[in-house]
Amino acid sequence: MTHFSFLFRDLILALVVALLVATVCFWAVQTSPGDLALQIAAKRYAGGQPSRELADVVREAHGLDRPVWVQYGDWLGRLFLLDFGHSLISGKPVLEAIAPFVQNSLRLILWGFLAGTGVAVILGFLCGRMPGSRIDLAITVLSAVLATVPSFLLGVFLVRYFIVDWRLGTLTGNSGWMRLWLPVLTITLALSGPLSRVVRNAVAEVRAQPYMLHALMRGVPSNQLFLRHGVRNATLPVLNYLPVIFLFLVYDVIVIETVFNYRGIGWALIDAVKSRDIPVMQCLVLVLVTFYLTAAALTEAVTQMLYRQEVQR
């Protein structure tokens, strides 16, 4: 199979899994206790305890009086046409309603991933060049601590000191470095711990290979040797670990956004679940699952490409 065949297969698998997850969410909400129309009426119109008459109007307007199988079939048919419907609470098209939240989360994920990966590569490379040294031991201990501390606890700690005590950040708004730097720092700390160990082990293993030792004995400069012949081999284990990193981002960004009151996908998903806004919730779940599985598919395709190139060499 070619690289594109692997990628196409994985993308199809990602769409299937995303559809299954969204279906599970649909049925979970439908079978949960309480009157869905009554909750929507309270959230959208009355602001308190709505009347039964108003709930009946909402039920009929949104087709909630139809059998559940009919509602599911209607949603599935519109989904294949990329029509995600309208929010039951705001009345806006779902894509329009979630677009600001997706944009905010992507901004946070991008900066957090770049910062966390950059720190992990630097620390891992330093440790891999000097395995067993004091620097290696110190960074190993620090990485173990960061890997075991939950991200929400890191976030609470940063909020407590950097925002409440020292006024170096804010919990309002969704843009600007004063708003973003603490959530990005939380992702960086949580991400760099385990990833730096992967980089460290990959670098140390490559530098200990016989062909590297033989070249060093012949007088080839260490840095030049590693850049020309070691980087590619050290990259493969790190790429294989990247799907785990993306899984961490999808899961932990939801928690981090809640801690920092950041209006991203996690905040919107929790709000949609509380208000039982089924179309918004389903679309957000599709976005999250598709994002992770697509990232995993792209990572696998790149890994396969690098591996085949290395075999051909």
What pLDDT sits at residue 254?
Answer: 83
pLDDT computed for residue 6 by the predictor: 62
User: In terms of C-beta density within 10 A (0-12 exposed, 13-18 middle, 19 or more buried), how is residue 169 classed?
Assistant: buried
Residue 86 DSSP code: B
DSSP one-letter code for 263: -
Please give the Cα distance from 101 to 264 (Å, whole number).
4
Which parts of 149-176 fold into alpha helices (H)? Answer: 151-158
Give me the amino acid identity at 167. Answer: R
**Cβ proximity of 202 and 259 under 8 Å:** no
Q: Are 160 and 213 in contact (CB under 8 A)?
A: no
Q: What is the pLDDT of residue 272?
A: 86
> What's the pLDDT at 3?
56
In terms of Cβ atoms closer than 10 Å to its own Cβ (0-12, 13-18, 19+), residue 105 is buried
Per-residue pLDDT in tens (0 to 9) along the chain, 313 residues: 555 666 677 667 767 777 787 788 777 777 777 777 777 777 776 556 677 787 788 888 878 788 888 888 888 888 788 788 888 888 889 999 999 999 998 889 889 989 999 999 999 998 988 888 898 999 989 888 888 888 889 999 999 999 988 888 888 876 778 888 999 999 999 888 889 989 999 999 988 888 888 887 887 777 777 777 778 788 878 877 877 777 777 778 888 988 998 999 888 988 888 887 888 888 888 888 777 777 777 767 766 776 676 566 5
- Residue by residue, DSSP assigns 2-30 as -HHHHHHHHHHHHHHHHHHHHHHHHHHHH
